[in-house]
Structure 1
């Protein structure tokens, strides 16, 4: 009886952990995906108002944002993720007071890193521009965002430490709404009313990051004030047995944050390698002009990347959810819980990411046409980007798992190996494959990093790979079927419609997505795969759809 009771208790704990992960993932996925969709949809009017300058503007925007993203990572300094992990760690010990002090000290660290990073970016803009004078005003327009975003992100991390994902998710969406409204209004005013410079339009579009941050800060302040009494009560009921000095708290924040900076910057580092090698290699090897290079660079660094990041945001949302949960399990030395949560996270990633990425590849032609006008090269690059998104998304999740388990040094080591592989392959890949060369080099390098991480997780925690094999194979099969259905629909409809029309592209996209997604949902429900991964609530959906 005791064994049975123990087994029942373990099962209940696993179900609770899975429920929390699903709930947190649902919030973060919703916030992230809606933010990314909004961040992609604005491109349609933005490109239209920029007219013939759109490719040059896209390239300039990408150059500025890649550098800004790296500085933002340095300014944020991994503190939100570190705070999320440490607050969850101390909360699991019923030491809520220590978590509150961590939050306050983290604010000091974030304010300092934001200020230093903003100053360096502003005065160092001519150096980082790499000879392109148009990049300088773009970089300087982003300094105010770098000043305030670290503190904003820390508040999100604090809520995540309490496993409250709604404030982060909703604030992400509000941030994007404020940003997009400002950038579209500014671009319309400059290009259509003033008939001004496209460089000024891009500079105001990047300055919109600061406006978005202000909107997010207002919402997070509201959530903090609304939850303050509850959190104060938890602090009062803490055990208060743990005495930690202020210096120890700051040291813990910095020690945990530094690996988060580098690991979270992995994809950005790869993008910067592309930015600082693509132009020189293509110019010397193939003799393109700067205007032509900007157009080619925009195809993969901005155009395809914007759409690819919508899919990768699914993985980012899951990774944010899994860190505090794994940290809590690690604190309790719950090896079985770690094993279960890791396998749940991987299977949930496959369940969402594989059909999303393959689906994007299938509908790449109408999708690219809607956002950027018809372009054969752009469509081909988007297809490659959709495939690469799978491995980039997987890196996001497995690196977060490693960090949640305090495997920071190993994660940095494996990322370093990946960066070396990227650097070795970069020039040969561009020489052979030209514009898709950077994507191929990135994909191969990330495969190496992801393999090393998953291998380590399996050695350390003996992942139930045999149990994961069946659902993983089912997901892959259903995703391939989804791809075939959606691609056939696209090809058939284009027999009757022009490749150049945005209206026809929109119609083809909607029908193809409905058919492909519909097939995937029916297969997942029919085989009970969705029940296994998403829980018993899925049964209600099956009944409403009359699927047995």
Structure 2
């Protein structure tokens, strides 16, 4: 197999595994919330959000940075330098993981106090439960950083299989443990909800053990081949460890920071949401936590579905942008950026519009009728953020492709400043939907910078994209209008007072919306332009 085919095959395998892993990470929420409720989901998020920041730092930046470093020196015939990085990296990341674990474990009481400043244990989660949850999930930090070095080392040899398989296995074991332990503690042992959620977060460690077992299996299987290449190294640059890690960090930090966009925004909500709502004196702690569970857990997972689909379909276009920019092929670069924007907008805008219009039946089907009014309202106002999440991830990737990743970092910092400045005030004034508006305000600020930077440094002309965006918005509004008519009509026959009625309303509405958008996008020629004329059915037919 040629190097190019090997690279493309590996990229496809890794992209598929990441999408599958993210998809599994979304769908388990539905049965989990059915068992623990929205307030239980809030408690789960209290533990998982601080952990996610550290987890993302370990799993986003390190594998890519190690992969680039190892690949670079392997190409120069120096396999020993990559091996030195691998060995020292395992030691350093294990130590780093241990200190991260200690930090999160012992700071758990302080973090819990910031999340809930005025606890009311009669109708809310107790501070001791929050501390327990944070400490249970912190144990996973003992494993994940070292695993990231393993994954990066394999990827440096253009071997994506170990990373792909370990990611999927990790997610399957984690989700299986979460659902099994939660059900057993609540329904078999008649335990407390807080105990069940604490053990659910411990699933991150159990999943990590499964992933580590997979990586060790591949290491044992391929070690002799790698060792033979090391012994036959044509050269040894003998780079000092200090210089080695400087090169590694300079590459990893921008990637890690941009990859932390959503977790960092959620971290701000973690420390403002409950406190702002309770300060209005219109929400008890329990009510504020239920709203937070809906916002940060249930609704957030739903809007990530169109984000994952849109990003997965456009991500194959991103690596080619680097080649076009490097080779100076400006016309090709223009076409690639245009196509990337078009795919994202074509998928994300109607998906967000659909979620807004169908927020109530969608929430009822997936999370039940118990918190329908609250859940439907939050989902309706949060759905447009799906467009911004999708655009930010893609524009940041484009900036990386044209070697302007520092602007993606600067845009994220600007977005976080806007989010921090507006989060508490929006929540205090608007109630639970304020979290959605502060998030969209922050992402809007970040996107303005990203879009400007792409226009400036890639010399990209946005004229065509503006026309396409207006057409997509117009078609989406038409689709939304047709869905509203069908939904309101269906609700006269099937009021949202049972799961089955919500299902019928959703079914009729989704068929109408998808059919309407598909027909209009084909008739206008938009589908063929965006998705490609290789799909003959999408071509606009001449009359």
TM-score by length of 1: 0.81
Structure 1 residue 458: Cα displacement: 0.9
Partners of 1:218 and 1:417 lie apart in 2 by 41
Q: Is 2:35 aligned against 1:38?
A: no
Q: Indicate the SS of the match to 1:499.
A: coil
Q: Is 2:54 aligned against 1:71?
A: yes
Structure 1 residue 60: Cα displacement: 0.5
Structure 2 residue aligned with 1:120:
103
Q: Structure 1 residues 91 and 344 mapped into 2: Cα distance closer, same or farther (>3 Å)?
A: farther
Structure 2 residue aligned with 1:267:
262
Partners of 1:342 and 1:24 lie apart in 2 by 23
Q: Structure 1 residues 209 and 323 mapped into 2: Cα distance closer, same or farther (>3 Å)?
A: farther
* 1:178-229 Cα distance to aligned partner (Å, 9 max, x none): 2221111101111011110100110111111222233344455666778889
Q: Is 2:415 aligned against 1:429?
A: no
Structure 1 residue 33: Cα displacement: 4.8
Out of 272, 276, 280, the residue aligned to residue 275 of structure 2 is: 280
Out of 413, 417, 431, the residue aligned to residue 414 of structure 2 is: 417
Structure 2 residue aligned with 1:143:
138
* 1:472-527 Cα distance to aligned partner (Å, 9 max, x none): 44443444444344444333222211302112323433443344334444445555
Structure 2 residue aligned with 1:312:
307
Structure 1 residue aligned with 2:514:
517
**Is the Cα–Cα contact under 8 Å of residues 407 and 449 in structure 2 kept in the other structure?**
no
Q: How does 1:121-200 map to 2 (within 5 A)?
A: 121-130=104-113, 132-157=127-152, 171-200=166-195
Structure 1 residue aligned with 2:35:
49
Give ranges in structure 1 of 5+ residues lacking alignment: 1-15
Moved more, 466-475 or 446-455: 466-475
**Is the Cα–Cα contact under 8 Å of residues 326 and 401 in structure 1 kept in the other structure?**
yes
Structure 2 residue aligned with 1:439:
436
Cα root mean square deviation, aligned: 4.0
Structure 1 residue 322: Cα displacement: 6.4
**Is the Cα–Cα contact under 8 Å of residues 81 and 257 in structure 1 kept in the other structure?**
yes
Partners of 1:79 and 1:446 lie apart in 2 by 25
**Is the Cα–Cα contact under 8 Å of residues 82 and 253 in structure 1 kept in the other structure?**
yes
Q: Structure 1 residues 84 and 105 mapped into 2: Cα distance closer, same or farther (>3 Å)?
A: same
**Is the Cα–Cα contact under 8 Å of residues 319 and 396 in structure 1 kept in the other structure?**
no
Out of 371, 382, 387, the residue aligned to residue 384 of structure 2 is: 387
Partners of 1:306 and 1:372 lie apart in 2 by 12
Out of 399, 412, 416, the residue aligned to residue 402 of structure 1 is: 399
Q: How does 1:464-483 map to 2 (within 5 A)?
A: 464-483=461-480
Q: Structure 1 residues 195 and 100 mapped into 2: Cα distance closer, same or farther (>3 Å)?
A: same
**Is the Cα–Cα contact under 8 Å of residues 138 and 202 in structure 1 kept in the other structure?**
yes
**Is the Cα–Cα contact under 8 Å of residues 297 and 435 in structure 1 kept in the other structure?**
yes
Partners of 1:97 and 1:321 lie apart in 2 by 32
Moved more, 118-127 or 351-360: 351-360
Q: Is 2:289 aligned against 1:289?
A: no
Structure 1 residue aligned with 2:368:
373
Structure 2 residue aligned with 1:456:
453
TM-score by length of 2: 0.82
Partners of 1:345 and 1:24 lie apart in 2 by 21
Q: Indicate the SS of the match to 1:78.
A: helix
